[in-house]
Amino acid sequence: MEKVTILGSTGSIGRNTLEVVDLLSQRFKVVGLAAGRNLALLYKQAEKFKPEIIALEREEDAAKFKQNCKKPYPQIIFGTKGVEEAARYFKNDIVVSAITGIKGLRPTMAAVEAGKRVALANKESMVTAGFLLRQAADKNGAEIIPVDSEHSAIFQCLAKERSQDVKKVILTASGGPFFQLSRQEMKLKSLDDALKHPRWNMGKKVTIDSATMMNKGLELLEAQSLFCLEPQQLDVVVHPQSIVHSLVEMKDGSVLAQLSITDMKIPIQYALTYPERCESPLPALDLKAVKLLEFMEADQEKFPLLRLAFLALQKDRCFSVALNAANEIAVEAFLNKEIKLIDIFEIVDETINSSVRTNIETLEDIFLIDRETRKRARNLIRQRI
């Protein structure tokens, strides 16, 4: 039986992972959970799956959880070091990295350095530190298997292909809730409007990133790091049906694609069971019911964060770190209703134009750039409030 730890167990990916593990309980056992502040849900998860180790974000939540937890108590730890310890837990075989944002980077690296299979849903780790994660994986015998539906699709398409035969990798985007709107119309949209994704049920931060198409920009940068691609080998098309999750164009003119219904449990299960495939209770894709598959150009002028991501493909690593940090702060401000949707574009653009440039050799170099970029982004936001 394979032992699984889920980092971000109360989030969308974490909840879906637990559903998959529950369905495949003869093969997988949960030994670790890490979560933020949703204690009510974590209590239920702990009671059902009985993990041996639980990591919480804050010390006070860890104390509260222990006070209310039923015996026998799991090992309860907290803080960044606690999450890293859960990621390295000696009984882990698989670590699902599903903490949102750059705060998922250290525990992801901890799991990689411990030689685990990492089912990666934290795209920011690869965006900011992909080359370091790959080096650590090679050194420690770890596996990094993508969970994002787009990267899982690419991974599956490339499984038996030679890298020299790949001409282009094309990520598909739903377009989010505002794809059909003009830039002027987007100025009038509220937080509630931006949180209504037409296809996927995701956390708030990822949903806002989808509305600005920054999510696709981050996925471009993640794909570059995951699959060692050149900038000219990457592209994005808008595909509103979200049935084709990515495409790979080969040098002989063949185009490979992975299709499925829009349910994250499919790529999650594949990452857990790879290279095997297991039966799933989910319905198979019925192409007769789909009827129409549309593909359209992604408008980089209307969605300037996507344009910046394409630019980041050609820039140094500092640019990607700064782009991610500025976006995280701007989205946080939008979620707090401090700025408007359209302000996200302007704040990110202004911030990265003056970002720190330094050689990146360690995680600490990345976090230095991240901290300085966040300071500048917050200063710009304060000027607008």
Residues 6+ apart with CB under 8 A from 363: 105, 106, 109, 129, 132
Report the alpha-carbon distance of residue 289 to residue 291 in Å, rounded: 6
Report the alpha-carbon distance of residue 33 to residue 37 in Å, rounded: 13
What CATH number is given to the structural domain containing 95? 3.40.50.720
Sheet holding 166-173, edge to edge: 255-259, 244-250, 166-173, 234-238, 296-297
pLDDT band for position 66 (cuts 50, 70, 90): confident
Report the alpha-carbon distance of residue 16 to residue 4 in Å, rounded: 14
Q: Does 219 lie in the same domain as 140?
A: no
Report the alpha-carbon distance of residue 183 to residue 233 in Å, rounded: 28
pLDDT of residue 223: 97
Query: Is residue 273 situated within a structural domain?
Result: no
Other Cβ atoms less than 10 A from the Cβ of 4: the count is 28
- The DSSP letter of residue 69 is P
Q: Does 137 lie in the same domain as 21?
A: yes
Structure confidence by residue, pLDDT tens digits, 94-134: 999 999 899 999 999 999 999 999 999 999 999 999 999 99
225 neighbors 121 (Cβ within 8 angstroms): no
Q: Which residues pair with 382 in a beta bridge?
A: none
pLDDT of residue 356: 64
Q: pLDDT averaged over the chain?
A: 93
Q: Among 277, 301, 325, which residue terminates a domain?
A: 301
Q: Does 114 lie in the same domain as 19?
A: yes
Residues 6+ apart with CB under 8 A from 375: none
Query: Is residue 306 situated within a structural domain?
Result: no
Q: Does 41 lie in the same domain as 125?
A: yes
pLDDT of residue 206: 86
pLDDT of residue 65: 87
pLDDT above 70 covers a percentage of the chain that reads 99
pLDDT of residue 161: 94
pLDDT of residue 384: 81
Q: Does 155 lie in the same domain as 258?
A: yes
What CATH number is given to the structural domain containing 326? 1.10.1740.10
Structure confidence by residue, pLDDT tens digits, 202-252: 778 889 999 999 999 999 999 999 999 999 999 999 999 999 999 999 999
The residue type at 135: Q
Q: Does 131 lie in the same domain as 244?
A: no
Structure confidence by residue, pLDDT tens digits, 274-283: 999 999 999 9
Q: Is the pLDDT of residue 72 over 80?
A: no
Helix (H, G, I), strand (E, B) or coil at 101: coil
Written as six digits, the tokens of 98 are: 């599903």
69 neighbors 91 (Cβ within 8 angstroms): no
Q: Does 345 lie in the same domain as 226?
A: no
Report the alpha-carbon distance of residue 132 to residue 129 in Å, rounded: 5
Q: Does 190 lie in the same domain as 166?
A: yes
Q: Does 245 lie in the same domain as 224?
A: yes
Question: What domain count does the chain have?
Answer: 3
Query: Mean pLDDT, to the nearest integer, of 370-384?
Result: 93
Helix residue ranges per DSSP H, 228-359: 265-273, 287-290, 304-312, 317-335, 341-352
Query: Mean pLDDT, to the nearest integer, of 80-96?
Result: 96
Q: Does 158 lie in the same domain as 290?
A: yes
Structure confidence by residue, pLDDT tens digits, 322-333: 999 999 999 999
Query: Is residue 276 situated within a structural domain?
Result: no
Report the alpha-carbon distance of residue 317 to residue 292 in Å, rounded: 39
Structure confidence by residue, pLDDT tens digits, 338-358: 999 999 999 999 999 876 677
pLDDT of residue 193: 84
pLDDT of residue 120: 98
Query: Mean pLDDT, to the nearest integer, of 75-89?
Result: 95
**Cα-atom radius of gyration of the chain, to the nearest Å?**
20
Structure confidence by residue, pLDDT tens digits, 180-211: 888 888 888 888 888 887 776 677 888 999 99
Q: Is the pLDDT of residue 20 over 90?
A: yes
Query: Mean pLDDT, to the nearest integer, of 374-381?
Result: 94
Domain, as residue range, for 121: 2-147
Query: Mean pLDDT, to the nearest integer, of 129-158?
Result: 97
Q: Is the pLDDT of residue 85 over 80?
A: yes
Q: Does 157 lie in the same domain as 127?
A: no
Q: Which residues pair with 173 in a beta bridge?
A: 238
pLDDT of residue 355: 65
